[in-house]
Chains A and B, each alone.
Chain A
Amino acid sequence: MSVLYVALPVALLLGGSALIACLACIRNGQYDDLETPAIKLLNDEMKS
């Protein structure tokens, strides 16, 4: 049996798990505000 029949589903599964992680992040509200987190990061850098 060709390795293609294993490699392709595995590739899709790997990609799919990343997609599911991304969807979870979106549902979690991580994409609601793309402005403030960038600023917060800077703030904590300066504080330490």
Chain B
Amino acid sequence: MQQTLEAPNVALPRSISCSHCGLPTYSRQEDERVFCCNGCMGAYALIHELGLASYYELRSERSVAGIESGAAQRSGSDILEDLQAAGVSVHSMSDGSCSVRLVVDGLHCAACSWLIERMQPTIPGLMSAQVRMSDRTIELVYDPTRTQPAEVSKKLAKLGYSLSPWTVDCEDDRAFLQQQRDHWIGIALAAFFAANAMWIGVALYAGESTGISLAHETFLRWVGTLLAVLAAILPGRIFFQTAWQAIRTRTPHVDIPIALSLLMGVVGSLIGAARGDGHIYFDSLASLILLLRIGRFIQFRVQVRTSLSLSRLLRWNMVTATRMDSSGTRAKIPASRLQVGDQIEIEPGATIPADGVVTFGSSCVDTSLLNGETTPVLVGTGDVLVGGTTNVSKRIEMAVTAAGETSRVGRLMKLVQSASSHRTPSMMAADRVGKWFVLIVLLLAALTWSGWTYYGNVAIATQNTMALLTIACPCALALAAPLVITVALGRAARRQIWIRDGNCLEQLATPGMLWLDKTGTLTCGKLRVLAWHGNDERLQLAAALEHHIQHGIAKAICEFVESTADKFATSNVIEVVQLLGKGAHGRVDGVSVALGTEAWMRETGAVLGERWLAIQAMALSKDRTVVWMSVEGEVCGMFELGDPLRSDAVETLRAIASRGWKLGILSGDRQEIVSRLAELLLENGVQIQTALGQQSPEDKLSVIQSFRANLEFSRANAQRPMVMVGDGVNDAAALALADVGIAIRGGSGQSLAAAPIFLANNRLASVVELLDASTNVVKGIRRCFAASLIYNSVTISLAIFGWIHPLIAAVLMPISGLTVLAMAMSTNAFSGLKSK
């Protein structure tokens, strides 16, 4: 805004993509390269200077969001100046260098990791910079005498990436890596033993039909048995360990029959090898261990994904604050270290790090993060600020009244955390079924063994019991649900629907109650010009003036004019004055133009005609924001602004309702607005059951709680899930507490982390895709379960009566596993939709 006073010749809006970040911009250069801001121009120049221009060819998409978020958090890099204070653990190497692991924000595609790693030789003292895409972190190895992470961070910040401390302890990170390696090692070992045991087994089977010398047979048998016993001892050890723990704590666990079966397999193999005439168990034992280890690995990955997203949630605390002491010196510290009574300074564009009271200055604050309010609020000395909101226009000072966990956002975050740790009913049901399965199988095994010992002999009893325990292995049953869900999660991710918790898919399959936030969820979440009263020629003047104002309304007017007019004349804009909360005026090509509220018009000396006041009254009754326009002191037009419904909103809601869901609206907006919206939707054939306005974040939480209590009271509805669709911090707790929370883009990072489902494609219609996919997932799981149960009950009965040869059991076992795998892969979740 300030540079416009000295820059009289400005080429006016023409939407071109910025050469660096791809954002639509207004050309400020005659060159073919165009930049939206000095930051992008600097980054472009820097990239070329370093000889890294192929970045622009490599990047897969114009990663607009990354540059934006990078810029917003750029100030965060200062936090690395004091590593100790930021809680970063530095590992000193034997050669004097240090290594740290930091989180990179703004990392999107191959080009980003390439660019960051190519930066390394250009920074003296930085020995290596390794990006890990899977968890968006970077490991820096540097010479502490020559450079510091803060230096690297500053350089990367120029490219739009920001580094922040990794809140999960480095120790945790190492423990995770070690566990993952243990899993890989287990799988590798188990695969080796299984493959070798299998070909030895094939040799023996072949020998049975074509004839084999006794010496060869004994030799092969012993080698195979040795391999299987090693498999049980090395990769199979974990099952014995968990089973032993379960026995000691007297809790039925799926690992008990597995361990028992493995044990009997080991004993059976050894007896068979010793007697030389028994049946062959060792190959099925080894392949069983391999399949079980793979199942364990899948489980482990699912757990890690959940805990990783929780650690991202905690990263909110990494916002920085500038603290001022009594002598006026400023220090950057992490927001989590702020204390009550601290004086802090907040730059325009920064996130307010704690709750407090303004002590100096006045500014506009964007509270959309907290209450969905789209219009920035004017604050002055003595006004209360809430942490998590954004300071929009001017530098202010603030005294902290609550920080960290005691602040409003901190308390919300705590709610989110506790809600995240709730176990879902389906998880508990799965546990119960697992326990019963274990008990029944053990009981049947005992009956089989005693029955056959009584009527037959111990050898036959052992053989039949082992066949039973092997064939009744619940691994097909246990693998089915995770597999179907994993497949669905992968396919969903390709459609930019990120699902953190697979259980959501199960829950969304039953129609229940779906709550929607209004601002940003049903609506676009941003002000747009809905109507213009006046002569179209005047629009050019309005755009010329508003182009120099940094305000949501000004932006909306610029966009509107851009979409209606073909091209823009070059205008000479001088004497721009902006008054917060009122309006702006300036001289465009020598003509005095003013835009703003009714009060602003009176102040600038315009005469307000009855006609205009009537238009304003009409607009206000529809709850729209009005911007007056006057030229040379004469009112000549009026803009009506509002936050329109998403274009796919009505269609989506109709589709959701047609699938048997009940709809509700929970909004922070005024009740009249919400009621009017519900009426509007009813006219379009969408029945809204409950439309509640004026809901604070805490209110939303209690509404969901009380509705859930009602649902559970009527037992018939106990299975019906409560779903919340929303964005913003105000929805975070509700998103987490609802059975299924769906966050939609446009909200803050917190809500994305809080909700188990995130629609990164920013399409409300994806909710319908999700519901359909969930139905298919549940159908798929049921099919797998049914197949597995039929298989189990048939084979178990056969085994009990001794009609199953343990050889057939060994062949059937992997076949049943493979069948379940094939059925899981063919589940029709998300596959009917075209990938974008």
Contact = CB atoms under 8 A, between A and B. Distances in A.
B181 A19 contact: no
16 contacts: A4-B216, A8-B223, A12-B196, A15-B192, A16-B192, A19-B189, A26-B181, A26-B184, A27-B181, A27-B185, A31-B180, A35-B132, A39-B114, A40-B113, A43-B58, A47-B54
Contacts of A29: 177, 181
A43 B114 contact: yes
Interface in B184-216: 184-185, 188-189, 192, 195-196, 200, 213, 215-216
Given A5-B219, A8-B223, A33 B188 contact: no
A19 B192 contact: yes
Given A2-B216, A5-B219, A35-B134, A19 B177 contact: no
B57 interface: yes
A26 B185 contact: yes
Contacts of B192: 15-16, 19
Nearest to A41: B110
Interface residues of B, number: 28
B133 interface: yes
Interface in B133-168: 133-134
A46 B181 contact: no
A26 B110 CA distance: 24
A45 to B, nearest CB: 11
Contact of A33 (B58, B114, B132, B220): B132
A10 interface: no
Q: What class of interface size applies to chain A in its complex with B?
A: 20 to 34
Interface string A22-35: 11001101011111
Contacts of B213: 2
B522 to A, nearest CB: 36
Contacts of A23: 185, 188-189
Contacts of B133: 33, 35-36, 39
A5 to B, nearest CB: 7
Contacts of A43: 58, 110, 113-114
B134 A22 contact: no
A19 B188 contact: yes
B301 to A, nearest CB: 11
Contact of B58 (A19, A22, A46): A46
Nearest to B188: A22
Query: 7 closest pairs, A vs B, by CB?
Result: A39-B110, A43-B114, A36-B133, A35-B133, A19-B192, A26-B184, A35-B134
B139 to A, nearest CB: 11
A41 to B, nearest CB: 10
B646 to A, nearest CB: 33
B131 interface: yes
B188 A46 contact: no
A4 B219 contact: yes
Nearest to B176: A32
A31 B185 CA distance: 10
A4 B213 CA distance: 12
Contacts of A15: 192, 195-196
A27 B180 CA distance: 10
Contacts of B58: 43, 46
Interface string B43-71: 00000000000100110000000000000
Contacts of A4: 216, 219-220
A33 B304 CA distance: 14
B201 to A, nearest CB: 13
Given A23-B189, A29-B177, 17 more contacts: A2-B213, A4-B219, A8-B219, A15-B192, A19-B189, A19-B192, A26-B181, A26-B188, A31-B180, A32-B132, A35-B132, A36-B132, A40-B117, A43-B58, A43-B110, A43-B113, A47-B54
B785 to A, nearest CB: 31
Nearest to A32: B177
A19 B191 CA distance: 9
Contacts of A2: 213, 215-216
Chain A facing B: main interface SS: helix
A38 B196 CA distance: 30
Interface of A: 2, 4-5, 8, 11-12, 15-16, 19, 22-23, 26-27, 29, 31-36, 39-40, 42-43, 46-47
Contacts, number: 68
A19 to B, nearest CB: 5
A46 B181 CA distance: 32
A26 B117 CA distance: 23
A32 B216 CA distance: 42
Given A12-B196, A27-B181, A36 B223 contact: no
A28 to B, nearest CB: 9
Nearest to A18: B192
A4 B110 CA distance: 51
Contacts of A42: 110
A29 to B, nearest CB: 7
A11 B224 CA distance: 13
Contacts of A8: 200, 219-220, 223
A15 B200 CA distance: 14
B56 to A, nearest CB: 12
A35 B109 CA distance: 11
A21 B135 CA distance: 27
Contacts of B189: 19, 23
Contacts of B113: 36, 39-40, 43
A17 to B, nearest CB: 11
A7 B449 CA distance: 41
A32 B325 CA distance: 46
Nearest to B117: A40
Given A12-B196, A35-B134, A46 B184 contact: no
A33 to B, nearest CB: 5
Contacts of A40: 113-114, 117
Nearest to B131: A36
Contacts of A16: 192
Nearest to A4: B216
Interface string B323-334: 000000000000
Nearest to B223: A8
Interface in B211-252: 213, 215-216, 219-220, 223
Interface string B80-114: 00000000000000000000000000000010011
A48 B180 CA distance: 34
A29 B130 CA distance: 13
Nearest to B189: A19
A21 B114 CA distance: 29
B196 A46 contact: no
A35 B134 CA distance: 6
A8 B133 CA distance: 43
A16 B220 CA distance: 17
Nearest to A12: B196
Contacts of B188: 19, 22-23, 26
A24 B184 CA distance: 11
Contacts of A31: 180-181, 184
A43 B52 CA distance: 12
A27 B216 CA distance: 37
Contacts of A36: 113, 131-134
A9 B216 CA distance: 13
Contacts of A22: 188
